[in-house]
């Protein structure tokens, strides 16, 4: 039962973390811009590493409420990943411009 709960929490964590970036990439692909899917292989692992690093830093500095800090870090990293996808797509369009 604990394994099932752990898998459910892991799936929820990844959906919250990667959801906005994947939605942005899918939206770009529907518009015919397939560069977004290429950037996902860099953005998604970077998000996981950033969350793990910030969570470890929060534990190291002995944060007062680690659960709230972790939720904030996940939300901010998720938004940062979506912003990175938009920025990488805009940069790609700008570079392809004649």
What are the pLDDT digits (tens) for 10-43?
899 889 988 898 998 888 888 887 777 788 888 8
User: Total structural domains in the chain?
Assistant: 1
**Listed residue (77, 89, 90, 92) closest to 20, CA to CA:** 77
Structural domain of residue 51, as residue ranges?
40-93
59 domain residue, yes or no: yes
Q: Is residue 70 part of a domain?
A: yes
Distance CA 86, CA 36 (A): 8
Inside any domain, residue 75: yes
User: Which tokens sit at 38?
Assistant: 């290429």
| Cβ atoms of 17 and 51 closer than 8 Å | yes
Is the separation of the CB atoms in 84 and 22 below 8 Å?
no
- pTM for this model (two decimals): 0.77
Rounded Cα distance between 41 and 6, Å, is: 25
């Amino acid at each position: 039962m604990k394994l099932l709960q752990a898998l459910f929490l892991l799936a929820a964590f990844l959906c919250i973390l990667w959801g906005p970036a994947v939605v942005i990439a899918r939206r770009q692909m529907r518009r015919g811009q397939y560069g977004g899917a290429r950037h996902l292989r860099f953005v998604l692992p970077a998000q996981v590493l950033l969350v793990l690093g910030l969570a470890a830093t929060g534990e190291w500095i002995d944060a007062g409420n680690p659960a709230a800090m972790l939720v904030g870090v996940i939300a901010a990293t998720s938004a940062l990943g979506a912003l990175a996808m938009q920025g990488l797509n805009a940069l790609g369009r700008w570079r392809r411009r004649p």
